[in-house]
Chain A
Amino acid sequence: MVENGIGASLRRKEDNRFLTGKGNYTDDINRPGQTHAYLLRSPHAHATINSIEIAAAKSAPGVVAVFVGQDLVADAVGGLVCGASVTGKGGEVNKAPPRNVLTMDKARFVGDPIAVVIAETLAQAKDGAELIAVDYTELPSVVSTSGADAPGAPQLHEECPDNVALDWELGDKAAVDAAFASAAKTASVDLINNRMVTNPMEPRAAVGEYNSGTDEITLYVTSQNPHVHRLVMSAFMNIAPEHKFRVVAPDVGGGFGSKIFTYNEEAICAWAAKKINRPVKWTADRSEAFLSDAHGRDHVTTAEMALDADGKFLAMRVSSKGNMGAYLQLFSVSIPTLFHGFLLAGQYTTPVIYLEMRCVMTNTAPVDAARGAGRPEATYLLERLVDVSALEMGLDPAEIRRRNFIKAEQMPYQTPVVQCYDSGDYDASLDKVLANADYDGFAARKAEAKGRGKLRGIGLSAYIEACGVAPSAAVGSLGVGVGLWESAQVRFNPTGGVTVFTGTHSHGQGHETAFAQLVTERLGVPVENVEVVHGDTDKGQFGMGTYGSRSLPVGGVAIVNACDKIIAKGKKIAAHTLEASEDDIEFGEGNFTVAGTDKTMSIAEVAFTAYVPHNYPEGVEPGLDEIAFFDPLNFSFPAGAHVCEIEIDPDTGTLEIVNYTAVDDFGVLVNPMIVEGQVHGGLAHGIGQALLEGCVYDDDSGQLITGSFQDYCMPRADNLPSFNVDYAPTVPIHNPLGVKGCGEAGAIAAPPAVINAIVNALGIKHLDMPATAEKVWRAAQAAG
Chain B
Amino acid sequence: MYDFNYHTASSLDDAVAKLGAAEDGTVMAGGQTLIPVLKQRLANPTDVVDLSGIAGLSGISASGDSVTIGAMTRHADVANSSDVPAALCAVAEGIGDAQVRNLGTLGGSIANNDPAADYPAALLGLGATITTNQRDIAADDFFTGLFETALNEGEIIKSVTFPNATKAAYVKFPNPASRYALVGVFVAQAADGVRVAVTGATDCVRRGPKLEAALSANWSVDALDGITIPTENLNSDIHASAEYRAHLIVVMAKRAVAAAG
Contact = CB atoms under 8 A, between A and B. Distances in A.
Same complex origin of A and B: yes
Interface of A: 123, 126-127, 287, 651-652, 692, 696, 705-706, 709-714, 719, 772-774, 777-778
B219 interface: no
Contact of A652 (B1, B2, B3, B248): B248
A128 to B, nearest CB: 13
Nearest to B244: A774
Contacts of A773: 173, 176
A486 to B, nearest CB: 38
B41 A126 contact: yes
A772 B41 contact: no
B177 A712 contact: yes
A123 B1 contact: yes
Nearest to B180: A710
B21 interface: no
A774 B240 contact: yes
B247 A711 contact: no
A502 to B, nearest CB: 37
Contacts of A651: 251
B5 interface: no
A213 to B, nearest CB: 38
B177 A711 contact: yes
A710 B36 CA distance: 12
A710 B251 contact: no
Interface string B35-58: 000001100000000000000000
A744 B155 CA distance: 56
A706 B238 contact: yes
7 contacts: A126-B41, A652-B173, A652-B251, A692-B176, A692-B177, A710-B177, A773-B176
Interface residues of B, number: 18
Contacts of A709: 177-178
Interface string B212-253: 000000000000000000000000001111001001100100
A705 B238 contact: yes
Contacts of B239: 711, 772, 774
Contacts of B180: 710
A126 B42 CA distance: 13
A713 B40 contact: no
Given A127-B2, A774-B239, 18 more contacts: A123-B3, A287-B40, A651-B251, A652-B173, A692-B176, A696-B238, A705-B238, A709-B177, A710-B178, A710-B180, A711-B177, A711-B239, A713-B177, A714-B177, A772-B239, A773-B176, A774-B240, A777-B247
Contacts of B1: 123
Contacts of B41: 126
B246 to A, nearest CB: 12
Contacts of A714: 177
B244 A777 contact: yes
A711 B2 CA distance: 25
A131 to B, nearest CB: 13
A605 to B, nearest CB: 56
A669 to B, nearest CB: 34
Contacts of A777: 244, 247
Most chain B beta carbons < 10 A, residue from A706, A714, A773, A778 = A773
A719 B177 CA distance: 11
A687 to B, nearest CB: 12
Interface in B61-119: none
A660 to B, nearest CB: 18
A419 B2 CA distance: 56
Contacts of A127: 2
Contact of A711 (B3, B40, B178): B178
A711 B238 contact: yes
Contacts of B177: 692, 709-714
Contacts of B251: 651-652
A652 B3 CA distance: 45
A419 B251 CA distance: 52
B101 to A, nearest CB: 17
B176 A713 contact: yes
Nearest to A691: B176
A39 to B, nearest CB: 15
A709 B240 CA distance: 16
Contacts of A692: 176-177
Contact of B241 (A652, A719, A774): A774
A773 B252 CA distance: 14
B57 to A, nearest CB: 29
B254 to A, nearest CB: 8
Nearest to A652: B251
A127 B180 CA distance: 32
A159 to B, nearest CB: 33
A602 B176 CA distance: 59
Contacts of A287: 40
A651 B1 CA distance: 44
Contacts of A774: 239-241, 244
Nearest to A781: B247
Nearest to B252: A652
A309 B239 CA distance: 43
Nearest to A693: B177
Give the residue among A692, A696, A705, A774 with the most B Cβ atoms within 10 A. A774
Interface in B1-60: 1-3, 40-41
A778 B244 CA distance: 9
**3 tightest CB-CB pairs across the interface, nearest first?**
A713-B177, A710-B178, A774-B244
Nearest to B173: A652
A696 B237 CA distance: 11
Nearest to A694: B238
Nearest to A706: B238
Contacts of A705: 238
B172 to A, nearest CB: 12
Nearest to B247: A777
Among the interface residues B1, B2, B176, which one has the most CB atoms of the partner chain A within 10 A? B176
Contacts of A652: 173, 248, 251
A777 B178 CA distance: 20
A651 B173 CA distance: 12
A774 to B, nearest CB: 4
A43 B41 CA distance: 15
Nearest to B254: A651
